[in-house]
Chain A
Amino acid sequence: MIEIQNLHCRYPDGTVAIKGLSLSIANGEFLLICGPNGSGKTTLIRHLNGLFKPSAGTVRIDGLDVSQAGNEVRKRVGMVFQDADSQILGETVREDVSFGPENLGFEKTELHERVTWAMQTLGLLELADKPCHLLSGGEKRRLAIAGVLAMQPQILIFDEPFANLDYSGVRQTLQQIISFHKKGHTVIVTTHDVEKVIVHVDRIAILYEGQLKAHGSPELTVGELAKYRIRPPCYSLLGGKPLSWLAT
């Protein structure tokens, strides 16, 4: 359970990125946080695993205060960054996927099992010894997800997971995100491009100028999107039925 209460975030240059945001996210929920560029999406999710400390307010994960129990929280909350390159730390695929589990202190056998499982889940086993900088954009994204998945966190956060991906890359990533949700993970996705994921989420939270403007089921909130400079999905513009990106 994630509980955000009256969260404020002010950057050193005086920019107020989050203004009194309160939100609860239940275990196993699939939440879409959407908003235009600069609305505070990335800032908000970076508070959820303690990378940023709140200027005011609190964030609790399963009752743990994020600003006080950062490491314990990061075991539960895995985050896939918007720019996969900034998340890749190892020289080879296997080395990068091992980074997180090694830090969790697993024995060699369990470490190997976890890393192999994560690479297999993301279809990276054949690329295990390939240097990371030679991977394609889609492969890098899958590697970033594998690196987080290998730590087996309960909560998975994806920051703009579809950015810079081609059609097949979007479908692969979306399939993986949906499968994590089906397995019981709490999944949070941030994006300004709601089209690709809206059909699959339980709830939408609309962020605008650092404030939570609306939240609720996709059916209830889809009409609000355009008001906050977010392009509504085609089905709502054309008056058709919701259509998944996975549909062929």
Chain B
Amino acid sequence: MARNLILHYSPGTSVLHRWDTRCKLLSLMIVTLSLLHMNTTALILFSGLFVAASMVARLHWKSLLQNVKPWLIFLTVIFLVQALLNQPSLLLSDSSLSLSLDVVLVAAVVCWRLALMLCYAILFTSVTKPREMQDALTWFLQPLPFIPARRVAMMINLTIRFFPVVLDQSQEIQKAIKSRLGNQSGKPLKRLKYFILPLFRRSFIHSDEVALALAARGYREDLPLRTQKASLCHIVALGLVGLVALVSILGASIRPYLQF
């Protein structure tokens, strides 16, 4: 139905689409890890970089953001838990229950970080072909002993590819519920039951079918890798991402010492 674009590959010929997948994957890991240590200035910078990268990749980012809406519930829960349960008045069993603005701000920054991680993951899956990702993962895992690299890469790849399928299925089930007025039911547990059980059942059946399809189409683990040597400009781009991330983290950790 093409309504749900989140975590789907979006075909294109942009620089990001053509960037070597191994470099892209490493960049994603660097950005995701460094986001955990960034201050608000760096978060603003990386938010801007995300918007710029989405424009370079020519993604329908407004539509993508619309698809991110369901995640807002998840982020809101995290925000509320962080903002309310870490309040000093609650921790000190103070009966006044006054809200500390600092704690609320910290909670907002945590949610901002998580939202950015999600956005970069969406961007990565949008500009990377599943097959290229599988090859890149195999390339990284192959040198490690006792690990069936291709099988693990295939499993990771299928998991990532399965995610949008599950999202699509969940939307289809929601439509089935809505068309029989299930959205009117005032019993949240019952609504959850009619949503979760069919979703699990369909997901398990689908995973069974995928396993059978793999076997039927002669899945092999001994095929040679199709990755080519990454060119210098791809590696330089990776280096630049690492440098910006490093400067952002160092800026955050040095700043307190610069304030006298």
Q: Which A residues fall within an 8 A CB radius of B?
A: 11-15, 42-43, 46, 49-51, 70-71, 74-75, 78-79, 81, 83, 85-91, 99-100, 102-104, 133, 147-148, 151
Inter-chain contact B180/A151, CB cutoff 8 Å? yes
- Choose one: B5, B67, B172, B180; the contact of A100 (CB below 8 Å): B180
- Give the CA-CA distance A88 to B208 in the complex, in Å: 19
Inter-chain contact B175/A51, CB cutoff 8 Å? yes
Inter-chain contact A103/B60, CB cutoff 8 Å? no
Knowing A13-B60, A103-B185 touch, does A49 contact B179 (C-beta < 8 A)?
yes
Tell me if B2 is interfacial: C-beta within 8 Å of chain A: yes
26 chain-A/chain-B pairs, Cβ below 8 angstroms: A11-B1, A12-B3, A12-B5, A12-B60, A12-B67, A42-B1, A74-B179, A75-B181, A78-B179, A81-B175, A81-B176, A86-B169, A86-B172, A86-B202, A88-B176, A88-B198, A89-B176, A89-B177, A89-B194, A89-B198, A91-B197, A99-B182, A104-B181, A133-B201, A133-B205, A147-B180
- Give the CA-CA distance A86 to B174 in the complex, in Å: 9
- Nearest CB of B to A201, in Å: 23
Inter-chain contact B176/A11, CB cutoff 8 Å? no
- Give the CA-CA distance A208 to B116 in the complex, in Å: 41
Tell me if B63 is interfacial: C-beta within 8 Å of chain A: yes
Contact with A along B189-222 (1 / 0, CB 8 A): 0000010011001100100000000000000000
Inter-chain contact B2/A85, CB cutoff 8 Å? no
Chain A residues with Cβ under 8 A from B67's Cβ? Answer: 12
Chain B residues with Cβ under 8 A from A15's Cβ? Answer: 2
Chain A residues with Cβ under 8 A from B173's Cβ? Answer: 86, 89
Inter-chain contact A85/B60, CB cutoff 8 Å? no
Chain A residues with Cβ under 8 A from B66's Cβ? Answer: 12
In the complex formed, the residue of B with least CB distance to A150 is: B180
Tell me if B178 is interfacial: C-beta within 8 Å of chain A: yes
Tell me if B227 is interfacial: C-beta within 8 Å of chain A: no
Chain A residues with Cβ under 8 A from B1's Cβ? Answer: 11, 42-43
Chain B residues with Cβ under 8 A from A87's Cβ? Answer: 176
Chain A residues with Cβ under 8 A from B172's Cβ? Answer: 81, 83, 86
Tell me if B228 is interfacial: C-beta within 8 Å of chain A: no
Chain A residues with Cβ under 8 A from B180's Cβ? Answer: 74, 89, 99-100, 103, 147-148, 151
8 interchain residue pairs of minimum CB distance: A12-B63, A100-B180, A103-B181, A86-B172, A11-B2, A87-B176, A89-B194, A13-B2
In the complex formed, the residue of B with least CB distance to A104 is: B181
Inter-chain contact B181/A13, CB cutoff 8 Å? no
Q: Beyond the given A13-B60, A46-B175, A86-B169, please list 20 additional residue pairs across the A-B interface where CB-CB is below 8 A.
A: A11-B3, A12-B66, A13-B5, A13-B10, A13-B63, A14-B60, A51-B175, A71-B183, A74-B181, A75-B181, A81-B176, A85-B205, A86-B173, A87-B176, A88-B198, A89-B177, A90-B194, A103-B185, A104-B181, A148-B180
Q: Count B-side interface residues using an 8 Å CB cutoff.
A: 29
- Nearest CB of B to A131, in Å: 10
Tell me if B259 is interfacial: C-beta within 8 Å of chain A: no
Chain B residues with Cβ under 8 A from A49's Cβ? Answer: 179
- Nearest CB of A to B201, in Å: 6
- Give the CA-CA distance A133 to B203 in the complex, in Å: 13
- Give the CA-CA distance A81 to B179 in the complex, in Å: 10
Chain A residues with Cβ under 8 A from B179's Cβ? Answer: 49, 51, 74, 78-79
Contact with A along B65-95 (1 / 0, CB 8 A): 0110000000000000000000000000000
Contacting A at CB under 8 A, from B50-68, are 60, 63, 66-67
- Give the CA-CA distance A168 to B189 in the complex, in Å: 39
In the complex formed, the residue of B with least CB distance to A100 is: B180
Chain B residues with Cβ under 8 A from A90's Cβ? Answer: 194
In the complex formed, the residue of A with least CB distance to B168 is: A86
Tell me if B184 is interfacial: C-beta within 8 Å of chain A: yes
Contacting A at CB under 8 A, from B135-169, are 169
